[in-house]
Amino acid sequence: MSGRRVDAKVVLLGQEGVGKSSLVERCVHRRFRAGPYQNTIGAAFVAKVLSVGEQTVTLGIWDTAGSERYEAMSRIYYRGARAAIVCYDLTNSSSFQRAKFWVNELQNCEEGCRIYLCGTKSDLLEEDRRKRDVDFHDVQDYADEVKAEFFETSSKTGQNVDELFQKVAEDYVQFSAFQEMTEEKGVDLGQKSSSYLYGCCHH
Amino acid sequence: MAADVHKKKGWEVPNGSLAPGNGQHAERSESPTPGLAQGTEPGKGQSAGQEGAMFVHTRSYEDLTSPEDGGAVVRSPEERRGEPAEPTSMEQISKDFSELSTQLTGMALDLEEEMRQSQEGKLEPSPQATRHDSVLSGKEEEDVTMDTWRMHRKHVFVLSEAGKPVYSRYGSEEALSSTMGVMMALVSFLEAEKNAIRSIHADGYKVVFVRKSPLVLVAVARTRQSEQEIAHELLYIYYQILSLLTWTQLNHIFQQKQNYDLRRLLAGSERITDNLLDLMAHDPSFLMGAVRCLPLAASVRDAVSTSLQQAKAKSLVFSILLSGNQLVSLVRKKDQFLHPIDLHLLFNLISSSSSFREGEAWTPICLPKFNSSGFFHAHISYLEQEMDLCLLLVSTDREDFFTVSDCKRRFQERLRRRGVHHALQEALRTPFYSVAQVGIPDLRHFIYKSKSSGLFTSPEIEAPYVREEEKERLLGLYQYLHSRAHNSSRPLKNIYFTGPRENLLAWVTSAFELYICYSPLGTKAGAISAVNKLMKWIRKEEDRLFILTPQTY
C-alpha cells in the first residue's frame, strides 16, 4: 500500500476548457500538448511527490471535468480535499465568474480546504496584452477577501506552475503541523464530552 | 443459458418489426431456440449452463418494442402470437448445411437488382469533412446550406420533444434548429392522429424516426442499410446519451423544464457520439450485436482472467480488459451480466478519448441496458503508457476509488508474477489475424458469430479492400445481407449473392451466423466447400479466437 499512500488530497476545479488537465500535465509530466482539445471525462487521479525542506509530501491530485454534467458529482471529488486549485482562463471573464461559484461552494462545504486561485494561459497575454479579460487587481482583492492564494500560470511555458504546486505542498506541511498541535487539545475535550454524553444517554 | 432464460421470459422480441403495420403476418426465422444445438457451434463456452454465458446476449431490436418505449411502436397481437420459434436441433443444422447448395439455387433475382440500384447510388462522392478535431469553442462546423453538407451519407439528429436541437452529426445545431422544428412537427402531426411516424422513403433516402420520450432521434441516410438497422443505430445514440445522464435524470430534467437545452449537459460529449457513429460505419460489432476478442493463446487468456478474478473488491461488478475495440478478458460478478450494447458503449467511450492515457480516471457511467436509472463508477486506466491495453473496473460505490485502484495494482502484480506480460505484448503486436491463415485461396473475408456466447470473430480486412471507401463498401454488403437475413416479414436462412466485384454467402442458424466474402471468380460449389473448411478451421482455433470459459468473481 505504501506506493498508494497520499498525504494531501488536492482538487482542481473550474469551467471546462480553462486548462486544468494541462496544468496537471505540466506539473506531473513536464510537458504541454498542443493538440486538439480533449475534455476530461469524470475525473482523473494522479499522485505527485514533492519535497518540502527535508520532508516529502505526496499530493493526490484530482483533475475534475469542467462539464456541467458532472457538477452534481463534484462533491465526491472535493470532499476532504486539503487544497483546491480553482482555475479560470485569464482571457475569459465568464470563467472567472465560474471560479467564484466554486469558491463559494468550497467555503460552504469544505471549510478545511485551502483555496488557490489560478489564472491560466498567461502566455496568451504575453503575445497580446489586450487579450486579458480578467483584471489582476480585481482577482487580488477577491483573493484577499476569500483568503485564497493567487497565481497566474502558463502550462505552455511552465510559468508559475511548479511554484503553485510547491506552495500547495508547503502550506500543507505548515498547516498540518499546526493542526497536530491544536488537535491534541481538541481530542481531549472531545473525549470528555463524548463520555459525558454517553453517560447521559444511559440514564 | 442466461441469455436464453431471458428469451423464455419473453423480454426479447427478436426481429422486432419496424415495418409498417400493414397486417402482414411476420413469419419468423431467427429462431433462438433455447437449449438446443448449442453444443455444435464453435466458439461457444464449454461450461454450459448459467455461468457459461458472458453476456445477456440479444440482438437488440427488442428495444424497439420494449415497454419503456412508451408505446411508440405497437405490434399487433397477431404478430406477437406468431412468435414461437420454429424448432431447430443439431440434426437440423447439419441438414441445413447439406441443403445449403440446393437452397442457394433459389436465389432471388430481385436481390441482385436491388443491389445494383443501391450501388449506383453509392458512386456519388461522399465528402469526408467531419469534425473530429473539434475544439471546445471554435470548432469548425460545416455550413449547412452547402452542397457538401447535403452530400453526407448519413445524417443523425437528436432533438427534444419541444423541438430543440440536442445533437447533429454534421453542422451546428443552431443552424439546424428550423430543420429540427420541421422534424418535430412531422412527429407531432402524426401523433395527434394516434399514429407514429417510422420512416420516409424518397429519392434514395431513408428518413428514419425513433421516438424515445423525451427525445426524438432522426437519421437521414442514403446507405444500403435497412430501416431497422438505421433505427438500431439511432437507439445506440439514445443509449449513448443515457450512459452520460441516466434515464432518470433525463426524464427529470424535461419534466422540470420542457424546453431545456440539453446541449448544456451534454457539452463535450459530441466527440463520443461522433465516434460512435464512425465506429458503427466501420466495425461489424454493432451490426452483429456481438463482441470481438483479441486473438490470444488460451493459456495466456486464462492467466489474465484469473489475475483479474483474484483482484476483486466488494463493490466491483465487472472487470474488463480490452485492447482497441477487442475484448481481452471479462470477469463479472455472479449473476450479473453485461449486455453487448453496454460493452460497446464502454468500448466507444474509451476509443473516443485520449484523456484516459494519463493517470487513473474515475467517472460516473450509466450502463443503460443493465440499469438505466443509476450510475456506476468506472475506474479506467491503461496498464502501460505504450501498450494499448486498457483496464476498466466497474464499481457500484463512488467512494471506492482507492479500493478499486488497489485492485488494479493487485491485478498488475499478479500478471507480472504469472509472467504472461511478454506473451500479452506479443499478442498485441498482431491484434488481427490474416484470412490467409485459414488456407482457402478464394476466401477474402468472413464474419462468424456464435450466438450463445455473444462473441464473433473476423479477420483483418485486406486487399482488395484497402481504401476506407472499399472497407465501408464491404461492411455495407454485410449490412445488406444481414438485413435480408433478419428481415421481419421475409427472413432468410441462406443467401448467396453474386456481385460484380465479389461473391458473398450468408448462413444463419439458431446457433451461429456466418457471412463470407470471396472472389467473384469462385463458384457456388466452391463457396460451400469453403464454408465447410472454414467451420473446421474456426473450431480448431476457437480457444484462441473466443473466450470459452468466462470467469466470475
CB contact (8 A) between residue A44 and residue B269? no
Among B40, B72, B98, identify where a domain stops. Answer: B98
- Residue B120 CA, chain-centre distance (Å), reads 27
Kindly state whether residue A74 falls inside one of the protein's structural domains: yes
CB contact (8 A) between residue A44 and residue B360? yes
Query: Which grid cell sits at B323?
Result: 485492447
Classify strands B503-508 and B512-518 as parallel, antiparallel or unpaired: antiparallel
* Nearest C-alpha neighbor of A44 from the set B352, B359, B409, B353: B359
Neighbouring residues of B351: CB distance < 8 A, sequence distance ≥ 6: B275, B279, B324, B325
Classify strands A43-52 and B390-395 as parallel, antiparallel or unpaired: unpaired
* Nearest C-alpha neighbor of B34 from the set B16, B63, B60, B57: B57
Of B268, B358, B401, the CB nearest to A67: B268
CB contact (8 A) between residue B358 and residue A46? yes
Kindly state whether residue A120 falls inside one of the protein's structural domains: yes
Asked if B48 and B150 sit in the same domain, the reply is no
Kindly state whether residue A123 falls inside one of the protein's structural domains: yes
CB atoms within 10 A of CB B99: 13
Kindly state whether residue B319 falls inside one of the protein's structural domains: yes
Q: What is the pLDDT of residue B81?
A: 43
Q: What is the pLDDT of residue A182?
A: 55
Average pLDDT over residues A45-64: 92
Q: Where residue B272 sits, what CATH number does that domain have?
A: 3.30.450.70
Asked if B444 and B534 sit in the same domain, the reply is yes
Asked if B420 and B321 sit in the same domain, the reply is yes
Kindly state whether residue A154 falls inside one of the protein's structural domains: yes
Q: Where residue B504 sits, what CATH number does that domain have?
A: 3.40.1840.10
> How many distinct structural domains can be found in chain A?
1
Tell me how far apart the alpha carbons of residues B519 and B442 are, in angstroms, rounded to a whole number.
5
Q: Where residue B303 sits, what CATH number does that domain have?
A: 3.30.450.30
Tell me how far apart the alpha carbons of residues B89 and B64 are, in angstroms, rounded to a whole number.
29
Q: What is the pLDDT of residue B177?
A: 85
Query: Which grid cell sits at B390?
Result: 486498457
Neighbouring residues of B440: CB distance < 8 A, sequence distance ≥ 6: B518, B530, B533, B534
Q: Is B134 on the interface with A (CB under 8 A)?
A: yes
Q: Report which residue type is found at B391.
A: L
What one-character DSSP code corresponds to residue A19? S
Asked if B313 and B386 sit in the same domain, the reply is yes
Kindly state whether residue A163 falls inside one of the protein's structural domains: yes
Tell me how far apart the alpha carbons of residues B339 and B230 are, in angstroms, rounded to a whole number.
20
Kindly state whether residue B45 falls inside one of the protein's structural domains: yes
Of B265, B362, B406, the CB nearest to A4: B406
Of B137, B266, B378, the CB nearest to A69: B266
What one-character DSSP code corresponds to residue A24? H
Kindly state whether residue A175 falls inside one of the protein's structural domains: yes
Q: What is the pLDDT of residue B44?
A: 60
Kindly state whether residue B110 falls inside one of the protein's structural domains: no
Of all residues in chain A, the percent with pLDDT exceeding 70 is 85
Q: What is the pLDDT of residue B91?
A: 52
Asked if B205 and B345 sit in the same domain, the reply is no
Tell me how far apart the alpha carbons of residues B124 and A135 are, in angstroms, rounded to a whole number.
54
Reduced to 3 states (helix: H, G, I; strand: E, B; else coil), residue B349 is helix
DSSP string, B98-146: HHHHHHHTT--HHHHHHHHHHHHHHTS-------TT--TTT--PPPTTS
Reduced to 3 states (helix: H, G, I; strand: E, B; else coil), residue B330 is strand
Asked if B305 and B320 sit in the same domain, the reply is yes
Q: What is the pLDDT of residue A12?
A: 95
pLDDT less than 70: residues of chain B: 1-140
Q: Which domain holds residue B401?
A: 296-431
Q: What is the pLDDT of residue B126?
A: 40
Kindly list the residues from chain B whose CB atom is less than 8 angstroms away from the CB atom of residue A36: 132-135
Kindly list the residues from chain B whose CB atom is less than 8 angstroms away from the CB atom of residue A40: 355, 361
Q: What is the pLDDT of residue B173?
A: 85
Tell me how far apart the alpha carbons of residues A79 and B139 are, in angstroms, rounded to a whole number.
34
Q: What is the pLDDT of residue A63?
A: 94
What one-character DSSP code corresponds to residue B437? G
Among B50, B80, B98, identify where a domain stops. Answer: B98
What one-character DSSP code corresponds to residue B25? P
Q: What is the pLDDT of residue B213?
A: 87
pLDDT of residue A39 exceeding 80, the answer is yes
Chosen from B358, B376, B392 to mutate, greatest number of chain A CBs within 10 A: B358
Q: Is B69 exposed, middle or buried (0-12, 13-18, 19+ CB in 10 A)?
A: middle
Secondary structure (H, E, C), B149-172: HHCCCEEEEEEECCCCEEEECCCC
Q: Is B260 on the interface with A (CB under 8 A)?
A: no
Kindly state whether residue B276 falls inside one of the protein's structural domains: yes
Q: What is the pLDDT of residue B243?
A: 95
Among B98, B126, B145, identify where a domain stops. Answer: B98
Kindly state whether residue A200 falls inside one of the protein's structural domains: no
Kindly state whether residue B108 falls inside one of the protein's structural domains: no
Query: Which grid cell sits at B235?
Result: 437507439
In A20-49, the residues whose Cβ lies within 8 Å of chain B are 21, 24-25, 28-29, 36-46
> How many distinct structural domains can be found in chain B?
4
Q: Which domain holds residue A39?
A: 8-184
Using an 8 Å Cβ cutoff, are B408 and B381 in contact? yes
Query: Which grid cell sits at B468?
Result: 476506407
